[in-house]
């Protein structure tokens, strides 16, 4: 158990270096001179030289990267070129929105996907077909399209939910739920499909195992065989899939937040991309990398907890 | 017993069906291929077939309905929607092609290198793949777009690069399997270098897999490309793109909801088509690998009409009566009968042996008594009764009253017979609650401890806390017997209970069964291939071969006066027994 966590943490070091390295190198490739574009056309040569000095632009690239890393470790992610806001502040203010969206979608996808998967593994052919079709559609319909369609039907036509915007949970828990309902639904559909399929396959394989036969032969009820014993074994595959789904939801959130105008990380990162606001893009990339590391770590821990062979060693 | 169901390995005699013939059996795959081909051709022929240039506006007729001049109508600026759709497909499909190309080449090369060479190559490549899989791809793509001035093609190249780690993983594990195959060994022995083996022998074996992964990834890449377009990244308005058209449609969604379905529909259809091609190719690949005549995951076998089975057993005082009993499995080439009209009875308190080699139908017979045949197998003729209670062709609900309560099962492999995720105590208590007569937590626990003690497990309270992987095979088999005894069954079916155990442990288990029989006056059916076990413990036995009973009698009759030549040869091939009976 400890070994798994250590390995994962060790792997996270190169991961953070790679992500920050990529964004850093990309930044240095931007055509033009950051000092020049920051100062505008009316700056004096003295101002220009001074700014180049403060930004360490005269030093070699590797040294600049080193300085950048040092700042990152001190929690200084730089400053937005456009708003002059510290990037760490931008991230901190928008992270709760994205987390609400992604965690909500993950919970929904995990619960609904598992139920669908178990149902189709244990209830014969027709339900298997139904899950096949659902998962084909869930994978095929582009998430932004699903989001638009849901928004049109449930927000614009029926008026059940707000079409856009976000209310924080501290303002009004009810409005918070209502503002998240459609985004979560749109985001979770693809995950539901994937999780249902993985659950189904894992359940079908598990139900063939000897110990399932032993339990059935002992007169254990079908309900317990399926939910307590077979699902428990399938949960190992399931946990990995849920982790991957959650990671993919952070990518999906970039699109969903823009459809529903939620003020999250995905929303600002697109704006920043359009404005060439590299420090913001960089800071968010780093945030996402850390989130991925945390999710993978949680998956590893859950895996260990679910598997007595790892746990009792 | 699966050996009885699956066909012999590829006989190779089946005529090789051509690709065309195999395709015609998969209309969905053909349709999906056609959709992709036609849409792609139309998109790249846009300059030839589009009714108008994509940017040509006609301010006087915005939102026009379909007409001869505008087959799909016009948008808010009076631009021809069909033309924009055709031209707009170009960045999407070119982007997909770039991403898929990078994905295939990089993934394949990394996968083969690490999976075939292993060693240092694998030690370098595997961690790199781990990191690539953990990098949040979409963010890197956005950073690339920010830096490269919204160049969608560079972004798609980066997408393919990061996604290729997935492919490399898949290829790597297949490659590890392929490098062990005979034809690769042969190539190695004949002196081919690793480079040639990888390109000439390993790669062709992976081509099918590669195509499947490529088409599945094409769907993902299209989703990303159009998603970026939808966000206004990449292709810039007024240039058309599929994602951008969905975005345009979303602006007028209240007035013209149908716009959403035009661009969105094309994206959806193409994504579904890529997905179907992937699934179809995977099935084709599976067909190619599946041995002709092998069992499919089949439908349940319906018992044939035949003569109506008698309603009561001939002798109700017998513990178990099996009469004219046949079992068949559904295979690709029709029903395969694995047990053929067998008849026997087991008396109360008797140890009854069913002897035979693997494939003789002995285990299937035993499992069928508990209604535990695989889904594609069924009792086709005859019946079995426990006392006067019918066992065959009864509902699952009836079976729940029989399993554990009336008949217990001990199976062959103790190491996999118990749920690895729960302690022995947890499983035993669950079964006791279900089939035992103990009520309440403490009583259930006491009963469980009592059961563990009754199978002569030392320190039952310690065993209760253990997980299966913490116990030895012999201890696990005792625990499994305790589970089977929880409901005080009248009949215990033991399927090769000692085969997987060491010799010294074997005799312990047999002693246990003997003492349980005496204490509980319980009948035991012992399924085994081992005549020594039969001689040791059984009162009577049947010898089975190819689904039929060839010999039946008391143990003395079978060993000292075998009638069937097969029985004689079995005895002769078991030296200890042959010696002790002086045969």
Neighbour count for residue A294 (Cβ, 10 Å):
11
Say how many Å lie between the first and final Cα of chain A, rounded. 8
pLDDT range class, residue B302, cuts 50, 70, 90: very low
pLDDT in tens, B423-459: 999 999 999 988 877 788 899 999 999 999 988 898 9
CA–CA distance, B183 with B202 (Å, rounded to integer): 9
Q: Tell which of A94, A140, A253 to mutate to test the B interface (max B CBs under 10 Å).
A: A140
Neighbour count for residue B44 (Cβ, 10 Å):
14
Of A157-161, B76-80, B566-570, highest mean pLDDT: B566-570
Of A5-9, A124-128, B481-485, highest mean pLDDT: B481-485
What's the pLDDT at A31? 61
CA–CA distance, B128 with B182 (Å, rounded to integer): 30
Give the full edge-to-edge strand order of the sheet including B334-346.
B334-346, B320-331, B377-386, B389-390
| Strands B491-495 vs B407-410: parallel, antiparallel or unpaired | parallel
What's the pLDDT at B251? 78
C-alpha dihedral over A64, A69, A71, A72, to 10 degrees?
140
B272 vs A140, A152, A272: nearest CB: A140
Is the CB of B19 inside 8 Å of chain A's CB atoms?
no
A258: closest chain B residue by CA: B231
A279: closest chain B residue by CA: B143
Higher pLDDT, A125 or B383: B383
CA–CA distance, B93 with B97 (Å, rounded to integer): 6
Q: Is the pLDDT of residue B189 over 50?
A: yes
Q: Is the pLDDT of residue B18 over 70?
A: no
Beta-carbon separation of A136 and B396 below 8 A: no
Question: Residue B264: its chain A contacts at CB < 8 A?
Answer: 141-142, 145, 148-149
Beta-carbon separation of A273 and B146 below 8 A: yes
Is the CB of B572 inside 8 Å of chain A's CB atoms?
no
B366: closest chain A residue by CA: A217
Of all residues in chain B, the percent with pLDDT exceeding 90 is: 22
Q: Is the pLDDT of residue B182 over 80?
A: no
pLDDT in tens, B291-301: 443 334 444 44
What's the pLDDT at B245? 86
Beta-carbon separation of B230 and A255 below 8 A: yes
What's the pLDDT at B19? 66
Q: Which of A157, A28, A25, A184 is nearest to A102 (CA)?
A: A184
Q: Is the pLDDT of residue B388 over 90?
A: no
pLDDT range class, residue B352, cuts 50, 70, 90: very high
What's the pLDDT at B288? 66
Residue located via tokens 């074997």? B506
Secondary structure of B149-206 as H, E, C letters: CCCHHHHHHHHHHHHHHHHHHHHHHHHHHHCCCHHHHHHHHCCCCHHHHHHHHHHHHH
My answer on whether omega of the bond before B27 falls inside 30° of 0, hence cis, is: no
Beta-carbon separation of A23 and B421 below 8 A: no
Q: Tell which of A190, A204, A206, A214 to mutate to test the B interface (max B CBs under 10 Å).
A: A214
Q: Please provide the average confidence, as pLDDT, over all residues in chain B.
A: 82
CA–CA distance, A207 with B104 (Å, rounded to integer): 35
Q: Is the pLDDT of residue B582 over 70?
A: no
Lowest mean pLDDT among A106-115, A131-140, B220-229: A131-140
pLDDT in tens, B523-566: 999 999 888 888 889 999 999 998 899 999 998 888 888 888 88
The arithmetic mean of pLDDT across residues A97-118, rounded, is 93
The arithmetic mean of pLDDT across residues B468-495, rounded, is 91
A273 vs B145, B396, B483: nearest CB: B145
**Dihedral over Cα of A4, A10, A16, A19: its sign:** negative
pLDDT in tens, B149-172: 778 899 999 999 999 998 998 888
What's the pLDDT at A72? 80
Question: Residue A211: its chain B contacts at CB < 8 A?
Answer: 416-420
pLDDT in tens, A209-263: 888 989 988 888 888 888 989 998 888 888 888 988 898 898 889 889 988 888 9
Of all residues in chain A, the percent with pLDDT exceeding 90 is: 10
pLDDT in tens, B96-154: 999 999 999 999 999 988 888 888 888 888 888 877 877 777 878 887 887 777 788 99
Give me the half-sphere count of Cα atoms (radius 13 Å) on the Cβ side of residue B112. 21
| Strands B377-386 vs B389-390: parallel, antiparallel or unpaired | antiparallel
Beta-carbon separation of B131 and A30 below 8 A: no
pLDDT in tens, A153-168: 887 777 787 777 787 7
pLDDT in tens, A25-43: 776 776 666 666 666 667 7
**Cα B80 versus chain centre, distance:** 50
Q: Where are the beta strands (DSSP E) in B347-401?
A: 351-355, 377-386, 389-390
Q: Please provide the average confidence, as pLDDT, over all residues in chain A.
A: 82
What's the pLDDT at A293? 84
Bridge partners (DSSP) of residue B345 are B321
Is the CB of B372 inside 8 Å of chain A's CB atoms?
yes
CA–CA distance, A48 with A38 (Å, rounded to integer): 10
Of all residues in chain B, the percent with pLDDT exceeding 70 is: 90
Higher pLDDT, A235 or B189: A235
What's the pLDDT at A37? 65
A23: closest chain B residue by CA: B143
Q: Is the pLDDT of residue B270 over 70?
A: yes
């Amino acid at each position: 158990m400890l070994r798994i966590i250590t390995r994962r943490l060790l792997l996270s070091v190169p991961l953070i270096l790679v992500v920050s390295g990529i964004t850093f190198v990309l930044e240095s490739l931007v055509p033009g001179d950051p000092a020049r574009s920051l100062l505008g056309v009316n700056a004096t040569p003295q101002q220009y030289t001074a700014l180049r000095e403060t930004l360490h632009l005269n030093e070699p690239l590797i040294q600049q990267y080193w300085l950048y890393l040092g700042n990152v470790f001190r929690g200084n992610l730089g400053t937005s070129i456009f708003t002059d806001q510290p990037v760490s502040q931008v991230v901190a203010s928008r992270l709760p929105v994205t987390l609400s969206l992604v965690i909500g979608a993950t919970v929904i996808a995990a619960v609904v996907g598992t139920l669908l998967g178990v149902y189709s593994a244990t209830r014969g052919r027709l339900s298997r077909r139904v899950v096949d079709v659902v998962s084909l559609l869930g994978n095929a319909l582009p998430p932004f399209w699903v989001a638009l369609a849901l928004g049109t039907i449930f927000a614009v036509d029926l008026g059940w939910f707000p079409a856009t915007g976000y209310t924080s949970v501290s303002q009004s828990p009810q409005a918070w739920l209502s503002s998240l309902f459609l985004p979560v639904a749109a985001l979770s559909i693809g995950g539901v499909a994937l999780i249902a399929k993985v659950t189904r396959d894992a359940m079908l394989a598990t139900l063939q195992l000897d110990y399932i036969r032993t339990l059935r032969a002992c007169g254990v009820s079908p309900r317990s065989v399926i939910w307590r014993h077979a699902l428990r074994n399938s949960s190992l595959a399931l946990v990995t899939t849920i982790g991957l789904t959650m990671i993919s939801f952070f990518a999906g959130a970039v699109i969903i937040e823009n459809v529903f105008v939620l003020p999250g990380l995905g929303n600002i990162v697109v704006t920043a991309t359009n404005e060439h606001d590299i420090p913001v893009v960089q800071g968010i990339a780093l945030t996402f990398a850390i989130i991925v590391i945390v999710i993978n770590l949680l998956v590893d821990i859950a895996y260990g907890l679910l598997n007595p062979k790892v746990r009792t060693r | 017993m699966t050996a009885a169901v699956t066909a012999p390995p590829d006989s190779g005699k089946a005529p090789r069906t051509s690709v065309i013939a195999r395709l015609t059996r998969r209309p969905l795959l053909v349709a999906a291929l056609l959709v992709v081909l036609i849409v792609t051709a139309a998109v790249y022929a846009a300059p030839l077939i589009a009714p108008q240039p994509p940017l040509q506006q006609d301010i006087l007729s915005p939102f026009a309905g379909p007409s001869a001049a505008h087959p799909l109508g016009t948008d808010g600026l009076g631009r021809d929607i069909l033309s924009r759709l055709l031209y707009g497909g170009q960045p999407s499909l070119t982007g997909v092609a770039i991403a898929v190309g990078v994905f295939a080449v990089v993934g394949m090369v990394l996968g083969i290198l690490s999976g075939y060479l292993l060693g240092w190559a694998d030690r370098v490549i595997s961690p790199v793949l781990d990191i690539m899989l953990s990098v949040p791809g979409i963010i890197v793509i956005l950073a690339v777009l920010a830096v490269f001035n919204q160049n969608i093609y560079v972004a798609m190249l980066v997408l393919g690069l990061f996604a290729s780690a997935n492919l490399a993983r898949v290829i790597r594990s297949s490659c590890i399997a392929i490098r062990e195959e005979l034809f690769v060994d042969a190539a190695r022995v004949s002196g081919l270098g690793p480079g040639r083996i990888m390109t000439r022998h390993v790669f062709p074996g992976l081509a099918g897999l590669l195509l499947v992964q490529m088409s599945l990834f094409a769907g993902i890449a299209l989703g990303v490309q159009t998603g970026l377009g939808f966000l206004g990244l990449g292709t810039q308005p007024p240039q058309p793109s599929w994602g951008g058209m969905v975005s345009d449609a979303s602006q007028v969604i209240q007035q013209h909801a149908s716009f959403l379905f035009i661009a969105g529909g094309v994206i959806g259809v193409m994504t579904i088509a890529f997905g179907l091609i992937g699934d179809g190719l995977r099935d084709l690949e599976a067909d190619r690998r599946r041995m002709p005549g092998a069992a499919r995951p089949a439908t349940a076998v319906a018992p044939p009409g035949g003569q109506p089975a008698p309603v009561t057993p001939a002798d109700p005082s017998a513990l178990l009566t099996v009469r004219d009993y046949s079992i068949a499995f559904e295979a690709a080439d029709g029903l395969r009968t694995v047990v053929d009209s067998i008849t026997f009875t087991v008396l109360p308190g008797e140890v009854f042996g069913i002897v035979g080699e693997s494939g003789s139908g002995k285990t299937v017979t035993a499992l069928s008594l508990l209604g535990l045949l695989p889904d594609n197998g069924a009792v086709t003729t005859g019946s079995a009764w426990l006392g006067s209670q019918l066992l065959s062709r009864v509902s699952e609900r009836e079976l729940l009253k029989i399993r554990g309560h009336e008949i217990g099962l001990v199976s062959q492999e103790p190491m996999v017979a118990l749920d690895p995720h729960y302690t022995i105590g947890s499983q035993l208590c669950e079964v006791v609650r279900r089939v035992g007569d103990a009520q309440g937590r403490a009583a259930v626990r006491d009963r469980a401890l009592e059961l563990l003690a009754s199978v002569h497990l030392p320190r039952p309270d310690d065993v209760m806390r253990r997980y299966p992987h913490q116990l030895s095979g012999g201890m696990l088999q005792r625990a499994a017997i305790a589970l089977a005894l929880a409901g005080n069954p009248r009949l215990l079916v033991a399927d090769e209970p000692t085969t997987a155990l060491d010799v010294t442990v074997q005799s312990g288990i047999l002693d246990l069964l003997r003492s349980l029989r005496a204490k509980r006056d319980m009948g035991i059916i012992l399924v085994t291939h081992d005549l020594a076990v039969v001689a040791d413990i059984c009162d009577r036995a049947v010898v089975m071969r190819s689904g039929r009973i060839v010999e039946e009698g008391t143990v003395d009759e079978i060993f000292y006066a075998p009638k069937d030549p097969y029985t004689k040869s079995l005895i002769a091939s078991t030296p200890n027994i042959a010696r002790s009976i002086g045969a």
